[in-house]
Amino acid sequence: MNRRGFGARAAIALAWPLGPARAVDPGQAAPDVELPDCTVARRLSDLRGRWVYLDFWASWCTPCRQSFPWMNELQASFANHGLLVLAINLDTRRADADAFLARTPARFALAFDPRGESARRFAIKGMPSSALVDPAGTLRFAHRGFRLEDRSDLWARVRAAMNVRD
């Protein structure tokens, strides 16, 4: 596996989706994806009734290293308001994901999807990509990429969607 890609098989899978994958727009139902090897649920629909900040990531993704500490903070701050941060890894080799996690710990839920089916269903085009899904299973917003300067805007978007007031 090289550092620029997450393996030829996964790159091809994301570049040429199997079946009709189209972007999900805010206000539409989020695809009910399987969550392979997940620590909290078998399918996204199993999490109905909770807010889910869904993140797609890979071990080679430099911005993912920056987003993990922020998502740890997001999970800790909004857990009492019903938020679950769930990050889906798309590496073809689990060992690559495990090495990343040894260096960049996650204090939130994880799933491992080496076939990339969940990313195809969400029409993911870049790493990391995230989506906020409300308790009814509706996509509230999606975001591609992560930069340190994105933190406050993403935080505010989550807070506003969840109607959290301090």
Tell me the per-residue pLDDT of 32-67, one tens digit each, with 9 for 90 and over: 999 999 989 999 999 999 999 999 999 999 999 999
**pTM (2 d.p.):** 0.86
Measured CA to CA, the distance from residue 136 to residue 140 in angstroms comes to: 10
75-132 per-position pLDDT tens digit: 999 999 999 999 999 999 999 999 999 999 999 999 999 999 999 999 999 999 999 9
Is 135 inside any structural domain? yes
CATH code, domain carrying 77? 3.40.30.10
Residue for token pair 């009492």: 80
d(CA 94, CA 5): 15
Q: Within a domain: residue 1?
A: no
3 in a domain, yes or no? no
Answer yes or no: is 2 within a domain. no
Answer whether residue 149 is part of any domain. yes
CA–CA distance, 19 with 165 (Å, rounded to integer): 41
For residue 120, being part of any structural domain is answered with yes
Instruction: Indicate the pairing of strand 109-112 with strand 83-89.
Output: parallel
The answer as to whether 131 is a domain residue is yes
Domain of residue 136: give its range: 8-162
Tally the domains of the chain. Answer: 1
